[in-house]
C-alpha cells in the first residue's frame, strides 16, 4: 500500500488535470478580453455622428413605415 509509484502517478495525474483546467481558463479569459475589446471598438465607432446620407436613409425608412402603418390601419393618405 505504500508504493511510491502510486503516489507519483496520482501526483502527476493531478498536475496534468490542473494544467488542463488552467489552460482552459486562460483561453476563456483571453476570449472574454477580446470580446470586451471588440465591444469597446464598436462603441467608439458608434459614437461617431452619422453621415448625412445615413440620416436621409433613416428618415426615408421612417416615412415608409409611417405609410405602411397608415395603409394597415385603413387610413387614406
**pLDDT tens figures, 27-68:** 999 999 999 999 888 876 666 677 888 889 999 999 999 998
What is the count of structural domains for the chain?
1
Residue 2 backbone phi and psi in degrees, to 5: -100, 35
Cα angle vertex 7, ends 6, 12, to 5°?
Answer: 100
Say whether pLDDT at 77 is over 60.
no
Neighbour tally for 59: CB within 10 Å: 10
Helix, strand and coil in the chain, % to nearest 5: 85, 0, 15
Domain span at 10: 4-73
Looking at residue 1, its pLDDT comes to 61
pTM: 0.50
What gap in Å lies between CA 20 and CA 12, rounded to an integer?
12
Amino acid at each position: 500500500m505504500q508504493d511510491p509509484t502510486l503516489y507519483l502517478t496520482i501526483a502527476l495525474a493531478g498536475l496534468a488535470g490542473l494544467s488542463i483546467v488552467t489552460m482552459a481558463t486562460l483561453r476563456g479569459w483571453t476570449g472574454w478580453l477580446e470580446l470586451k475589446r471588440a465591444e469597446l471598438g464598436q462603441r467608439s465607432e458608434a459614437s461617431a455622428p452619422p453621415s448625412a446620407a445615413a440620416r436621409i436613409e433613416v428618415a426615408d425608412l421612417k416615412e415608409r413605415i409611417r405609410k405602411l402603418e397608415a395603409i394597415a390601419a385603413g387610413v387614406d393618405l
